[in-house]
């Protein structure tokens, strides 16, 4: 029995018990013994209560421990889900940026491949409405009739009035090859494993109209399940669909504008025929003063100029389409520059400018020649545009130089002291880009680029506030010497030159 008790008077009672035993005092002995028994019983009851409390505490501790373990597991699940959602959000954010960089249907293959790599998918498929997109033949996408797409989505989501995103095992898809392309089910494992996300793409201006279907497939059967949320993927599908619709609408508008421009050019030729014919008839009748004859000549000259401009615009249209058939010949550029200088003589005098021509490092001489292969009328138009732009951009009283140099290529450089505005430098050769001109159309340098590229030449622009602007056209050197003489008859001798301003 331990020496220390919960009841401090037990030791004293034991001493009294010994004294009563020694004194043979039975009454006192029995009394103290009874008290000790009661104390022992009370101590036993207290110990039992303590043991019960300890047992309850242990149970509470175990229950608390289990709750802590469960809470820790739940917290880990929440953290994992949050990290997974954040990672998914970052991936979809990057994917949306990739889609926003799309400028044409031709960008689709690279964008779909980028999405596949970004999300770590086994397959990404894009179906588009054949009735809407067949005319544009978008690469990287398959075409299907809208009715067939609606039927496939209805089979996937029976009873849904307006089917939305669908996440499920691939084995639950009635016709996987419709969504992912022929040969997708060649491996039987595909039918047993993996999961997919399938989302309809709708017109941003008419959500009821189906324009396509975007489908993801992953080998992980737990990646896309009906229990998981699809907000990020659905939002991404919407962004992709809206971008495709915007690009398509822009292409439709461009085609409509081109059709209108083409018809307008064609229709302009009819009244122009009368403008060209009437001066000839009046001259033939005679009885005209010298001044009247000169005025009719000016009228006829302007008519031919307009006809040449219309023909040139039709040529540029063919160049844009890549169907222009170039008929190259050996062309000396110096007579062309003489004609351009004569045409722009008024602009040069009014602004006090100087137009210098430098051939192979020295001022031009009468006997000089600088020949390239091409079509004379197109070369005239290109150089006229570049020189006129340089004269208009040059400060009054300054010098504009046309330098012809021969090295690995035949280079024609047009330089002026003015600088190109910073906002249009990256788009200097783009269509409809202009600055600082009240009546500028933004077609001069664009046409020059098309003509240069049609001739197999390279065109570039360097500009700065200190050095001014230089536009250089580099023609390839002919590999075989031309048999024809450089001094062939020039069409400029019989008809006025064509030109187009930027």
In a domain, 58, yes or no: yes
| Amino acid 187: pLDDT | 66
In a domain, 82, yes or no: no
Based on the structure, what is the number of domains in the chain? 4
For the residues of 420-485, what is the DSSP string, one character each?
--GGGGGGTTSTT---S-TT--S-HHHHHHHHHHHTT-EEEEEEETTTEEEEEEEEEPPSS--SS-
Q: Are residues 466 and 363 in the same domain?
A: yes
| Amino acid 1: pLDDT | 41
Residue 433 sits in a domain whose CATH number is 3.30.565.10
Instruction: List pLDDT tens digits, range 99-122.
Output: 888 888 899 999 999 989 988 888
Q: Which of 205, 235, 251 is the last residue of a domain?
A: 251
| Amino acid 298: pLDDT | 77
In a domain, 54, yes or no: yes
| Amino acid 260: pLDDT | 63
The tens-digit pLDDT sequence of the chain (502 residues) is: 444 444 556 677 777 777 777 777 787 777 877 877 887 888 888 888 988 889 989 999 999 989 998 888 888 877 776 666 667 678 778 888 888 888 888 999 999 999 899 888 889 999 999 998 998 888 999 999 999 999 999 988 887 777 888 898 888 888 889 999 888 877 655 566 889 999 999 888 888 889 999 999 998 888 888 877 777 788 888 889 999 989 888 888 877 776 666 666 666 666 777 677 777 778 777 778 888 888 887 777 777 767 766 767 777 777 877 788 888 999 999 998 988 888 888 888 888 999 999 999 999 888 899 999 998 888 988 998 899 889 988 999 999 999 999 999 999 999 999 888 888 888 888 877 776 665 555 677 888 899 999 999 999 999 998 889 999 999 998 765 444 444 444 443 333 333 333 3
Is the alpha carbon torsion for 94, 100, 101, 106 positive or negative? Answer: positive
Q: Are residues 361 and 421 in the same domain?
A: yes
Q: Are residues 257 and 247 in the same domain?
A: no
Residue 155 sits in a domain whose CATH number is 3.30.450.40
Q: Are residues 357 and 488 in the same domain?
A: yes
State the burial class of residue 129 (Cβ atoms within 10 Å of its Cβ: 0-12, 13-18, 19+).
buried
For the residues of 96-151, what is the DSSP string, one character each?
HHHHHT--SGGGHHHHHHHHHHHHT-SEEEEEEEHHHHTTT--TT-EEE-HHHHHH
Instruction: List pLDDT tens digits, range 395-432.
Output: 999 999 999 999 999 999 999 998 888 888 888 888 77
Residue 262 tokens read as 């083409």
111 close to 94: Cβ distance less than 8 angstroms: no
Phi and psi angles of residue 265, each rounded to the nearest 5 degrees, phi first: -60, -45
Q: Are residues 211 and 272 in the same domain?
A: no
> What DSSP character marks residue 185?
G
Expressed as residue numbers, the domain containing 44 is 10-75
Q: Are residues 354 and 445 in the same domain?
A: yes
Q: Are residues 55 and 126 in the same domain?
A: no
Q: Which residues contact 49 (CB under 8 A, 6 or more apart)?
A: none
Q: Which residues contact 110 (CB under 8 A, 6 or more apart)?
A: 140
Instruction: List pLDDT tens digits, range 202-236.
Output: 888 888 889 999 999 998 888 888 877 777 788 88
Q: Are residues 294 and 167 in the same domain?
A: no
Q: Which of 321, 348, 370 is the last residue of a domain?
A: 321
* C-alpha span between 379 and 64 (Å, rounded): 90
Q: Which of 229, 251, 273 is the last residue of a domain?
A: 251
* C-alpha span between 385 and 396 (Å, rounded): 19
Reduced DSSP (H G I as helix, E B as strand, rest coil) percent helix, strand, coil of the chain, to 5: 55, 15, 30
389 close to 502: Cβ distance less than 8 angstroms: yes
| Amino acid 76: pLDDT | 84
In a domain, 93, yes or no: no
| Amino acid 284: pLDDT | 77
> What are all long-range contacts of 454-458, with beta carbons under 8 Å and residues at least 24 apart?
454/319, 454/324, 454/326, 454/378, 455/326, 455/328, 455/372, 455/373, 455/374, 455/375, 455/378, 455/379, 458/409
* C-alpha span between 149 and 161 (Å, rounded): 14
Cβ count within 10 A of residue 133 = 18
444 close to 500: Cβ distance less than 8 angstroms: yes
Q: Please state at what angle helix 444-454 crosses helix 376-393, rounded to 10 degrees.
A: 140
Q: Are residues 353 and 420 in the same domain?
A: yes
Instruction: List pLDDT tens digits, range 1-39.
Output: 444 444 556 677 777 777 777 777 787 777 877 877 887
Residue 278 tokens read as 């009437």
In a domain, 83, yes or no: no
* Neighbouring-strand partners of residue 356: 401
In a domain, 88, yes or no: no
Q: Are residues 229 and 368 in the same domain?
A: no
Q: Are residues 404 and 431 in the same domain?
A: yes
In a domain, 404, yes or no: yes
11 close to 43: Cβ distance less than 8 angstroms: no
Q: Are residues 366 and 473 in the same domain?
A: yes
In a domain, 33, yes or no: yes
Cβ count within 10 A of residue 318 = 13
Placement of tokens 């004194």 in the chain: 23
Is the alpha carbon torsion for 445, 410, 321, 134 positive or negative? Answer: negative
Q: How far apart are the first and last CA of the chain?
A: 116
């Amino acid at each position: 029995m331990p020496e220390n008790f919960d009841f401090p008077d037990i030791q004293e009672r034991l001493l009294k018990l010994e004294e009563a035993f020694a004194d043979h005092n039975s009454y006192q002995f029995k009394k103290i013994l009874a008290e000790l028994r009661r104390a022992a019983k009370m101590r036993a009851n207290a110990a039992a209560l303590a043991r019960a409390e300890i047992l309850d505490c242990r149970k509470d501790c175990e229950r608390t421990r289990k709750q802590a373990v469960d809470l820790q597991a739940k917290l880990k699940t929440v953290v994992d889900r949050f990290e997974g959602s954040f990672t998914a959000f970052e991936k979809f954010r990057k994917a949306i940026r990739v889609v926003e960089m799309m400028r044409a249907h031709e960008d689709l293959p690279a964008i779909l491949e980028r999405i596949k790599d970004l999300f770590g998918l086994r397959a990404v498929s894009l179906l588009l409405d054949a009735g809407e997109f067949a005319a544009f033949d978008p690469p990287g996408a398959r075409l299907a009739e809208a009715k067939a797409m609606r039927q496939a989505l209805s089979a996937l989501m029976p009873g849904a009035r307006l089917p939305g995103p669908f996440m499920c095992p691939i084995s639950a898809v009635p016709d996987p090859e419709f969504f992912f392309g022929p040969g997708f089910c060649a491996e039987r494992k595909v039918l047993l494993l993996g999961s997919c996300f399938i989302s309809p793409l709708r017109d941003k201006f008419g959500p009821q109209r189906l324009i396509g279907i975007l489908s993801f497939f992953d080998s992980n059967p737990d990646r896309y399940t009906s229990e998981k949320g699809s907000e990020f993927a659905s939002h991404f599908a919407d962004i992709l669909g809206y971008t495709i619709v915007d690009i398509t609408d822009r292409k439709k508008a461009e085609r409509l504008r081109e059709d209108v421009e083409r018809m307008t050019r064609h229709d302009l030729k009819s009244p122009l025929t009368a403008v060209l014919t009437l001066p000839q008839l009046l001259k033939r009748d005679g009885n005209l003063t010298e001044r009247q004859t000169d005025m009719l000549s000016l009228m006829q000259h302007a008519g031919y100029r307009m006809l040449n401009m219309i023909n040139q615009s039709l040529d540029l249209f063919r160049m844009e389409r890549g169907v222009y058939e170039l008929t190259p010949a050996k062309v000396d550029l110096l007579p062309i520059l003489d004609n351009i200088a004569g045409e722009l003589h008024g602009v040069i005098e009014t602004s006090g400018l100087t137009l210098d021509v430098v051939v192979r490092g020295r001022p031009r001489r009468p006997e000089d020649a600088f020949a390239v292969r091409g079509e004379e009328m197109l070369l005239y138009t290109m150089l006229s545009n570049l020189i006129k732009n340089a004269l208009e951009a040059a400060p009054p009283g300054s010098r504009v130089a046309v330098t012809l140099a021969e090295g690995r290529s035949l280079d024609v450089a047009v330089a002026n002291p003015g600088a190109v505005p910073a906002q249009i430098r990256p788009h200097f050769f783009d269509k409809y880009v202009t600055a600082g001109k009240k009546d500028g159309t933004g077609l001069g340098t664009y046409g020059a680029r098309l003509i240069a590229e049609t001739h197999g030449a390279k065109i570039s622009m360097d500009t700065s506030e200190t050095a001014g602007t230089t536009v250089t056209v580099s023609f390839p050197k002919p590999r075989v010497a031309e048999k024809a003489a450089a001094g062939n008859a020039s069409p400029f001798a019989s008809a006025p030159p064509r030109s187009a301003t930027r």
